């Protein structure tokens, strides 16, 4: 069975979900994540990961502009 993490929205099988949630709880409950995506509210502790994530949304916006 595949389930969604309540913290980050990623999907995992039952055998990995419990371990993932424990890690996500630690990340989301502290001040370890100063970078928050303004589009999807995903949080990041590392600025590099945050910047790479933002590129995904930028590509989506550019792609939508060319479709019009």
pLDDT reported for residue 65:
62
Enumerate the domain spans of the chain.
Answer: 1-30, 32-68
Entry pTM: 0.45
pLDDT reported for residue 30:
62
What is the separation of C-alpha 30 from the centre of its chain, rounded to a whole number of angstroms? Answer: 16
Q: What's the pLDDT tens digit per position in 26-64?
A: 776 665 667 888 888 888 878 888 889 988 877 776 566
Q: What is the C-alpha to C-alpha distance for residues 65 and 51, in angstroms, rounded to an integer?
A: 21
- The structure tokens listed for 43 are 């949080």
């Amino acid at each position: 069975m595949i389930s969604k993490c309540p913290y980050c929205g990623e999907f995992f099988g039952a055998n990995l979900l419990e371990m993932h949630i424990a890690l996500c709880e630690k990340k989301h409950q502290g001040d370890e994540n100063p970078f928050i995506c303004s589009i999807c509210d995903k949080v990041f502790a590392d600025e590099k990961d945050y910047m790479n994530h933002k590129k995904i949304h930028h590509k989506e916006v550019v792609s939508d502009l060319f479709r019009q």
